[in-house]
Structure 1
Amino acid sequence: MGEENPGPTDLGTAKALANPVRQRILCELRVMGEATSTSLAKRLGITTGGTSYNLRVLAEHGLVEEVPERARGRERWWRTARKDVRFARLREQDPEMRAATDELTRLWVAEDLETFAEFWAHRERLGEWADAVPFSRGTVRLAMEELGAFFEDYLALLNRYQRPDEDVPSDARTVLTRFIAFPDPREEVED
Protein backbone atom coordinates (compact mmCIF):
# COMPACT_ATOMS: atom_id res chain seq x y z
CA MET A 1 0.00 0.00 0.00
CA GLY A 2 2.90 2.36 0.18
CA GLU A 3 6.63 2.29 0.50
CA GLU A 4 8.17 -1.13 0.90
CA ASN A 5 8.98 -2.22 4.47
CA PRO A 6 8.05 1.08 6.12
CA GLY A 7 9.04 1.78 9.68
CA PRO A 8 6.51 1.96 12.48
CA THR A 9 3.94 4.74 12.36
CA ASP A 10 4.74 7.64 14.68
CA LEU A 11 2.63 8.76 17.66
CA GLY A 12 1.31 11.84 15.84
CA THR A 13 -0.07 9.75 13.00
CA ALA A 14 -1.54 7.22 15.42
CA LYS A 15 -3.29 10.02 17.33
CA ALA A 16 -4.51 11.59 14.08
CA LEU A 17 -6.03 8.26 13.05
CA ALA A 18 -7.51 7.52 16.49
CA ASN A 19 -10.03 10.33 16.14
CA PRO A 20 -13.62 9.28 15.30
CA VAL A 21 -14.31 12.30 13.05
CA ARG A 22 -11.12 11.68 11.07
CA GLN A 23 -12.03 8.02 10.71
CA ARG A 24 -15.42 9.05 9.32
CA ILE A 25 -13.73 11.45 6.89
CA LEU A 26 -11.37 8.73 5.67
CA CYS A 27 -14.29 6.32 5.27
CA GLU A 28 -16.27 8.87 3.24
CA LEU A 29 -13.26 9.64 1.05
CA ARG A 30 -12.82 5.92 0.35
CA VAL A 31 -16.46 5.77 -0.74
CA MET A 32 -16.58 9.08 -2.64
CA GLY A 33 -13.07 8.99 -4.09
CA GLU A 34 -12.60 12.75 -3.96
CA ALA A 35 -14.51 15.41 -2.03
CA THR A 36 -14.43 18.96 -0.73
CA SER A 37 -14.67 19.85 2.94
CA THR A 38 -18.16 21.21 2.20
CA SER A 39 -19.43 17.98 0.65
CA LEU A 40 -17.88 15.98 3.50
CA ALA A 41 -19.49 18.29 6.08
CA LYS A 42 -22.92 17.71 4.52
CA ARG A 43 -22.48 13.93 4.48
CA LEU A 44 -21.18 13.82 8.04
CA GLY A 45 -23.48 16.44 9.54
CA ILE A 46 -20.65 18.59 10.91
CA THR A 47 -19.38 22.08 10.10
CA THR A 48 -17.13 22.81 7.14
CA GLY A 49 -14.66 24.29 9.63
CA GLY A 50 -14.56 20.93 11.40
CA THR A 51 -13.96 18.99 8.20
CA SER A 52 -11.37 21.51 6.97
CA TYR A 53 -9.42 21.33 10.23
CA ASN A 54 -9.48 17.52 10.32
CA LEU A 55 -8.51 17.26 6.64
CA ARG A 56 -5.48 19.46 7.37
CA VAL A 57 -4.49 17.21 10.30
CA LEU A 58 -4.83 14.12 8.12
CA ALA A 59 -2.79 15.81 5.37
CA GLU A 60 0.00 16.71 7.83
CA HIS A 61 0.43 12.98 8.43
CA GLY A 62 0.24 11.96 4.77
CA LEU A 63 -3.15 10.26 5.13
CA VAL A 64 -5.02 12.49 2.66
CA GLU A 65 -3.82 14.69 -0.15
CA GLU A 66 -5.18 17.54 -2.20
CA VAL A 67 -6.38 17.02 -5.76
CA PRO A 68 -4.89 20.18 -7.31
CA GLU A 69 -6.39 19.66 -10.77
CA ARG A 70 -9.91 19.95 -9.32
CA ALA A 71 -9.27 23.11 -7.26
CA ARG A 72 -11.41 26.14 -8.18
CA GLY A 73 -10.66 29.37 -6.35
CA ARG A 74 -10.79 28.64 -2.62
CA GLU A 75 -12.43 25.24 -3.18
CA ARG A 76 -10.02 22.42 -2.33
CA TRP A 77 -10.60 18.80 -3.23
CA TRP A 78 -9.20 15.90 -1.20
CA ARG A 79 -8.60 12.17 -1.59
CA THR A 80 -7.04 9.47 0.55
CA ALA A 81 -3.31 9.00 0.13
CA ARG A 82 -1.69 5.62 -0.27
CA LYS A 83 0.21 5.19 2.97
CA ASP A 84 1.26 1.99 4.67
CA VAL A 85 0.31 2.35 8.34
CA ARG A 86 2.07 -0.05 10.67
CA PHE A 87 2.69 0.06 14.38
CA ALA A 88 5.56 -1.15 16.52
CA ARG A 89 4.95 -4.35 18.41
CA LEU A 90 2.86 -3.96 21.53
CA ARG A 91 5.76 -4.54 23.91
CA GLU A 92 7.81 -1.90 22.05
CA GLN A 93 5.15 0.81 22.43
CA ASP A 94 5.23 3.37 25.20
CA PRO A 95 1.97 3.92 27.14
CA GLU A 96 0.92 6.92 25.01
CA MET A 97 1.39 5.02 21.74
CA ARG A 98 -0.37 1.98 23.16
CA ALA A 99 -3.37 4.14 24.18
CA ALA A 100 -3.55 5.63 20.67
CA THR A 101 -3.28 2.27 18.89
CA ASP A 102 -5.79 0.69 21.29
CA GLU A 103 -8.30 3.46 20.52
CA LEU A 104 -7.65 3.18 16.79
CA THR A 105 -8.10 -0.60 16.86
CA ARG A 106 -11.34 -0.17 18.80
CA LEU A 107 -12.61 2.31 16.18
CA TRP A 108 -11.60 0.09 13.27
CA VAL A 109 -13.15 -3.08 14.69
CA ALA A 110 -16.38 -1.24 15.55
CA GLU A 111 -16.53 0.19 12.01
CA ASP A 112 -15.85 -3.23 10.47
CA LEU A 113 -18.57 -4.91 12.53
CA GLU A 114 -21.07 -2.15 11.73
CA THR A 115 -20.25 -2.24 8.02
CA PHE A 116 -20.50 -6.03 7.86
CA ALA A 117 -23.86 -5.95 9.68
CA GLU A 118 -25.10 -3.37 7.18
CA PHE A 119 -23.92 -5.52 4.26
CA TRP A 120 -25.62 -8.58 5.74
CA ALA A 121 -28.89 -6.73 6.33
CA HIS A 122 -29.02 -5.33 2.78
CA ARG A 123 -27.25 -7.99 0.74
CA GLU A 124 -30.42 -9.21 -1.00
CA ARG A 125 -30.55 -5.97 -3.00
CA LEU A 126 -26.96 -6.40 -4.22
CA GLY A 127 -27.74 -8.96 -6.92
CA GLU A 128 -24.82 -11.21 -7.74
CA TRP A 129 -22.65 -9.22 -5.31
CA ALA A 130 -24.75 -10.68 -2.46
CA ASP A 131 -22.66 -13.83 -2.80
CA ALA A 132 -19.35 -11.97 -2.85
CA VAL A 133 -18.18 -12.99 0.60
CA PRO A 134 -15.12 -15.18 0.24
CA PHE A 135 -14.77 -16.57 3.73
CA SER A 136 -12.28 -18.88 5.28
CA ARG A 137 -11.47 -19.91 8.79
CA GLY A 138 -8.16 -21.67 9.00
CA THR A 139 -5.50 -22.72 11.41
CA VAL A 140 -1.77 -22.87 10.83
CA ARG A 141 1.08 -23.49 13.25
CA LEU A 142 3.75 -20.84 12.76
CA ALA A 143 6.84 -19.49 14.43
CA MET A 144 6.83 -15.73 15.05
CA GLU A 145 9.08 -15.05 12.02
CA GLU A 146 6.82 -17.16 9.81
CA LEU A 147 3.77 -15.19 10.91
CA GLY A 148 5.57 -12.00 9.85
CA ALA A 149 6.35 -13.54 6.44
CA PHE A 150 2.73 -14.77 6.14
CA PHE A 151 1.45 -11.23 6.72
CA GLU A 152 3.88 -9.73 4.18
CA ASP A 153 2.69 -12.30 1.62
CA TYR A 154 -0.92 -11.29 2.33
CA LEU A 155 -0.05 -7.60 1.82
CA ALA A 156 1.75 -8.44 -1.45
CA LEU A 157 -1.37 -10.26 -2.66
CA LEU A 158 -3.59 -7.33 -1.69
CA ASN A 159 -1.26 -4.86 -3.41
CA ARG A 160 -1.25 -7.00 -6.57
CA TYR A 161 -4.97 -6.29 -6.98
CA GLN A 162 -4.84 -2.57 -6.17
CA ARG A 163 -4.62 -0.30 -9.18
CA PRO A 164 -5.18 3.29 -10.22
CA ASP A 165 -8.81 4.34 -10.68
CA GLU A 166 -8.38 4.65 -14.45
CA ASP A 167 -7.44 0.93 -14.63
CA VAL A 168 -10.45 -0.35 -12.64
CA PRO A 169 -13.05 -2.21 -14.75
CA SER A 170 -16.42 -0.47 -15.07
CA ASP A 171 -18.23 -3.36 -13.33
CA ALA A 172 -15.89 -3.32 -10.32
CA ARG A 173 -17.05 -2.53 -6.78
CA THR A 174 -15.12 -1.53 -3.70
CA VAL A 175 -14.41 -4.72 -1.76
CA LEU A 176 -13.43 -4.32 1.87
CA THR A 177 -10.67 -6.71 2.89
CA ARG A 178 -9.69 -7.48 6.45
CA PHE A 179 -6.99 -9.73 7.80
CA ILE A 180 -6.78 -10.96 11.33
CA ALA A 181 -4.55 -13.63 12.73
CA PHE A 182 -3.88 -14.25 16.40
CA PRO A 183 -2.50 -16.99 18.61
CA ASP A 184 -5.01 -19.28 20.23
CA PRO A 185 -5.17 -18.01 23.81
CA ARG A 186 -6.25 -21.47 25.01
CA GLU A 187 -2.92 -22.99 24.06
CA GLU A 188 -0.30 -23.00 26.82
CA VAL A 189 2.88 -21.20 25.81
CA GLU A 190 6.21 -21.11 27.61
CA ASP A 191 7.83 -17.68 27.68
Structure 2
Amino acid sequence: MLFQETNDVMERTGRGRLHMLNNDEIHTLQQILYRYPTVTSSSIADRLLQRISLRINPRTIRNYRLSLGFRAVHARTRLNNVIFSDEKAFEVDISGVVYWIPYGRPRPTQYQHQVQFRVTVFGAIWYDERSNLIFIGDRTNTTTYIQHLQAAFHLRLRQVFGYYFIHDRPTWAHTTLAHDWLRNNRISCMDNYPPVSPDLNAIESVWG
Protein backbone atom coordinates (compact mmCIF):
# COMPACT_ATOMS: atom_id res chain seq x y z
CA MET A 1 0.00 0.00 0.00
CA LEU A 2 1.44 3.39 -1.01
CA PHE A 3 1.05 6.35 1.35
CA GLN A 4 1.30 9.66 -0.51
CA GLU A 5 2.50 11.58 2.54
CA THR A 6 5.70 9.61 3.09
CA ASN A 7 5.99 7.36 0.05
CA ASP A 8 6.66 4.46 2.47
CA VAL A 9 5.69 1.10 1.04
CA MET A 10 4.13 -1.41 3.44
CA GLU A 11 3.22 -5.04 2.77
CA ARG A 12 -0.48 -5.67 2.93
CA THR A 13 -1.58 -8.86 4.75
CA GLY A 14 -2.65 -11.59 2.36
CA ARG A 15 -1.19 -9.96 -0.76
CA GLY A 16 2.01 -10.49 -2.72
CA ARG A 17 4.10 -13.65 -3.14
CA LEU A 18 3.86 -16.42 -0.60
CA HIS A 19 6.64 -16.60 1.94
CA MET A 20 9.06 -19.45 1.26
CA LEU A 21 10.24 -21.34 4.33
CA ASN A 22 13.65 -22.94 4.63
CA ASN A 23 14.12 -26.53 5.78
CA ASP A 24 14.48 -25.67 9.48
CA GLU A 25 11.36 -23.51 9.40
CA ILE A 26 9.40 -26.24 7.62
CA HIS A 27 10.54 -28.75 10.24
CA THR A 28 9.30 -26.44 13.01
CA LEU A 29 6.00 -25.97 11.19
CA GLN A 30 5.57 -29.75 10.90
CA GLN A 31 6.15 -30.16 14.62
CA ILE A 32 3.42 -27.60 15.35
CA LEU A 33 1.03 -29.20 12.85
CA TYR A 34 1.46 -32.64 14.40
CA ARG A 35 1.09 -31.32 17.93
CA TYR A 36 -1.98 -29.18 17.26
CA PRO A 37 -4.01 -30.98 14.57
CA THR A 38 -7.32 -29.24 15.34
CA VAL A 39 -6.32 -25.56 15.52
CA THR A 40 -6.84 -23.02 12.75
CA SER A 41 -4.20 -21.72 10.35
CA SER A 42 -4.26 -18.37 12.15
CA SER A 43 -3.44 -20.10 15.43
CA ILE A 44 -0.64 -22.05 13.75
CA ALA A 45 0.76 -18.76 12.41
CA ASP A 46 0.73 -17.29 15.93
CA ARG A 47 2.53 -20.33 17.35
CA LEU A 48 5.10 -20.18 14.57
CA LEU A 49 5.70 -16.51 15.38
CA GLN A 50 6.30 -17.41 19.03
CA ARG A 51 8.68 -20.24 18.15
CA ILE A 52 10.90 -18.68 15.49
CA SER A 53 9.83 -15.00 15.42
CA LEU A 54 8.60 -15.36 11.86
CA ARG A 55 5.27 -13.92 10.79
CA ILE A 56 3.48 -15.97 8.13
CA ASN A 57 -0.03 -15.23 6.92
CA PRO A 58 -2.68 -17.95 7.44
CA ARG A 59 -3.10 -18.50 3.69
CA THR A 60 0.53 -19.56 3.48
CA ILE A 61 0.03 -21.91 6.42
CA ARG A 62 -2.93 -23.52 4.65
CA ASN A 63 -0.88 -24.03 1.50
CA TYR A 64 2.00 -25.57 3.43
CA ARG A 65 -0.44 -27.84 5.27
CA LEU A 66 -1.63 -29.23 1.95
CA SER A 67 1.85 -29.51 0.47
CA LEU A 68 3.04 -31.42 3.56
CA GLY A 69 0.27 -33.99 3.12
CA PHE A 70 -2.22 -32.79 5.74
CA ARG A 71 -5.92 -33.07 4.89
CA ALA A 72 -9.01 -31.93 6.77
CA VAL A 73 -11.11 -34.82 8.07
CA HIS A 74 -13.89 -35.08 10.63
CA ALA A 75 -13.06 -36.90 13.83
CA ARG A 76 -14.82 -40.24 14.29
CA THR A 77 -16.46 -40.92 17.60
CA ARG A 78 -15.56 -44.44 18.68
CA LEU A 79 -17.75 -46.23 21.18
CA ASN A 80 -16.18 -49.67 20.90
CA ASN A 81 -13.79 -48.88 23.77
CA VAL A 82 -16.33 -47.49 26.24
CA ILE A 83 -17.65 -49.48 29.21
CA PHE A 84 -21.19 -48.63 30.31
CA SER A 85 -21.96 -49.68 33.89
CA ASP A 86 -24.94 -49.33 36.18
CA GLU A 87 -26.78 -50.92 39.06
CA LYS A 88 -30.49 -51.66 38.98
CA ALA A 89 -32.90 -52.57 41.77
CA PHE A 90 -35.50 -55.24 40.97
CA GLU A 91 -38.54 -55.94 43.12
CA VAL A 92 -40.86 -58.93 43.25
CA ASP A 93 -44.19 -58.07 44.81
CA ILE A 94 -47.21 -60.10 45.80
CA SER A 95 -49.56 -60.30 42.86
CA GLY A 96 -52.99 -61.85 42.48
CA VAL A 97 -54.08 -61.15 46.06
CA VAL A 98 -57.41 -62.79 46.88
CA TYR A 99 -59.85 -60.98 49.20
CA TRP A 100 -62.50 -62.95 51.10
CA ILE A 101 -65.49 -60.69 51.53
CA PRO A 102 -69.13 -61.28 52.42
CA TYR A 103 -71.38 -61.93 49.48
CA GLY A 104 -72.84 -58.78 47.99
CA ARG A 105 -70.23 -56.36 49.32
CA PRO A 106 -68.20 -54.33 46.79
CA ARG A 107 -64.69 -55.39 45.93
CA PRO A 108 -61.80 -53.47 47.52
CA THR A 109 -60.74 -50.45 45.48
CA GLN A 110 -57.40 -49.86 47.19
CA TYR A 111 -54.38 -52.09 46.90
CA GLN A 112 -51.36 -51.71 49.13
CA HIS A 113 -48.08 -52.47 47.37
CA GLN A 114 -46.23 -55.24 49.19
CA VAL A 115 -42.62 -55.98 48.28
CA GLN A 116 -41.86 -59.64 48.72
CA PHE A 117 -38.26 -59.63 47.49
CA ARG A 118 -35.78 -56.95 46.43
CA VAL A 119 -32.34 -57.33 44.84
CA THR A 120 -29.86 -54.93 43.28
CA VAL A 121 -27.88 -56.06 40.24
CA PHE A 122 -24.62 -54.50 39.05
CA GLY A 123 -23.34 -55.04 35.53
CA ALA A 124 -21.45 -53.51 32.62
CA ILE A 125 -21.49 -53.82 28.85
CA TRP A 126 -19.13 -52.75 26.08
CA TYR A 127 -18.90 -53.15 22.32
CA ASP A 128 -18.83 -56.95 21.99
CA GLU A 129 -18.88 -58.26 25.55
CA ARG A 130 -20.42 -57.88 28.97
CA SER A 131 -19.35 -58.30 32.57
CA ASN A 132 -20.62 -60.81 35.08
CA LEU A 133 -23.87 -59.84 36.78
CA ILE A 134 -23.32 -59.13 40.47
CA PHE A 135 -26.27 -59.54 42.82
CA ILE A 136 -26.05 -57.14 45.75
CA GLY A 137 -27.92 -57.91 48.93
CA ASP A 138 -26.58 -55.24 51.26
CA ARG A 139 -25.99 -51.52 50.95
CA THR A 140 -23.07 -50.42 48.80
CA ASN A 141 -20.11 -48.30 49.86
CA THR A 142 -16.74 -47.60 48.25
CA THR A 143 -15.14 -50.79 49.56
CA THR A 144 -17.96 -53.08 48.44
CA TYR A 145 -18.20 -51.21 45.12
CA ILE A 146 -14.58 -52.09 44.33
CA GLN A 147 -15.35 -55.70 45.25
CA HIS A 148 -18.28 -55.60 42.82
CA LEU A 149 -15.98 -54.28 40.08
CA GLN A 150 -13.46 -57.05 40.71
CA ALA A 151 -16.15 -59.72 40.61
CA ALA A 152 -17.87 -58.21 37.57
CA PHE A 153 -14.77 -58.01 35.38
CA HIS A 154 -12.84 -60.93 36.89
CA LEU A 155 -11.03 -62.58 33.93
CA ARG A 156 -12.05 -59.84 31.48
CA LEU A 157 -9.80 -57.08 32.81
CA ARG A 158 -7.19 -57.64 30.11
CA GLN A 159 -9.87 -57.20 27.46
CA VAL A 160 -10.68 -53.69 28.64
CA PHE A 161 -7.17 -52.25 29.05
CA GLY A 162 -7.23 -48.68 27.78
CA TYR A 163 -11.03 -48.48 27.81
CA TYR A 164 -13.17 -45.62 29.13
CA PHE A 165 -15.56 -46.27 32.02
CA ILE A 166 -18.98 -44.63 32.42
CA HIS A 167 -21.13 -44.95 35.54
CA ASP A 168 -24.13 -43.01 36.80
CA ARG A 169 -21.94 -41.23 39.35
CA PRO A 170 -23.24 -42.62 42.65
CA THR A 171 -21.38 -41.30 45.68
CA TRP A 172 -19.49 -44.55 46.32
CA ALA A 173 -18.19 -44.71 42.73
CA HIS A 174 -17.03 -41.11 42.60
CA THR A 175 -14.19 -41.54 45.11
CA THR A 176 -10.41 -41.61 45.04
CA LEU A 177 -10.30 -45.32 45.93
CA ALA A 178 -12.63 -46.27 43.09
CA HIS A 179 -10.73 -44.10 40.60
CA ASP A 180 -7.41 -45.56 41.77
CA TRP A 181 -8.70 -49.09 41.18
CA LEU A 182 -9.75 -48.20 37.64
CA ARG A 183 -6.47 -46.40 36.96
CA ASN A 184 -4.41 -49.33 38.27
CA ASN A 185 -6.26 -51.56 35.82
CA ARG A 186 -5.62 -49.13 32.94
CA ILE A 187 -9.23 -47.97 32.72
CA SER A 188 -10.04 -44.26 32.43
CA CYS A 189 -13.07 -43.03 34.35
CA MET A 190 -15.22 -40.52 32.46
CA ASP A 191 -16.56 -37.90 34.87
CA ASN A 192 -17.03 -34.91 32.58
CA TYR A 193 -20.70 -35.49 31.84
CA PRO A 194 -23.96 -34.69 33.70
CA PRO A 195 -24.52 -36.85 36.81
CA VAL A 196 -28.04 -37.95 35.86
CA SER A 197 -27.84 -38.64 32.15
CA PRO A 198 -29.35 -42.02 31.22
CA ASP A 199 -29.29 -41.13 27.52
CA LEU A 200 -25.48 -41.19 27.66
CA ASN A 201 -25.31 -44.62 29.28
CA ALA A 202 -26.20 -47.43 26.89
CA ILE A 203 -26.82 -49.98 29.63
CA GLU A 204 -29.94 -48.09 30.72
CA SER A 205 -31.68 -49.55 27.66
CA VAL A 206 -30.57 -53.07 28.57
CA TRP A 207 -32.31 -53.22 31.94
CA GLY A 208 -35.68 -52.70 30.25
| TM band (smaller chain) | under 0.3
The structure whose Rg is larger is: 2
Q: Which has the higher contact order (CA 8 A, sep 6+)?
A: 1
The TM-score with structure 1 as length reference comes to 0.22
Structure number with higher helix proportion: 1
Structure number with higher strand proportion: 2
